[in-house]
Amino acid sequence: SQNLSRGRRHAWIVISSDLSHFLDYYTAREKDLHTTQAIESLQPDAIGFDDACGRIPVSGLLVTAKEHGLHARTVDLRNSGDTAGDKSRVVGYGAYVFN
């Protein structure tokens, strides 16, 4: 990009999305792990409609990351059952770094 050619060394892209919604704790963990594997392997087509609310921007990030030779690493993967306590209907969250 032009910014990189002008001496700028780093660019930050931040995309936020919930993962699974309103599943029980253990089903959500399994589903979110599948989504995380798709993110880490830069496979946007493996992220289904109900895997992430923001699957469109996440998919765009994965395509861009692949085009630029980036690799994804999971920083954290949790759901609201880990933080709020109620495990009957949770929302999943993941944090990933691309470099």
pLDDT band for 31, please (50, 70, 90 cuts): very high
More confident site: 7 or 41: 41
pLDDT at residue 36, rounded to an integer: 96
CB within 8 Å of 47: residues ≥ 6 apart: 35, 38, 39, 55, 58, 59, 62
How far from each other are the two terminal CA atoms of the chain, in whole angstroms? 16
More confident site: 44 or 16: 44
pLDDT band for 1, please (50, 70, 90 cuts): very low
Q: Dump the DSSP string for 18-75.
A: --SEEE-HHHHHHHHHHHHHHHHTT-GGGS-TTT-TTHHHHHHHHHHHHHTT--EEEE
DSSP code at position 14:
-
pLDDT band for 91, please (50, 70, 90 cuts): very high
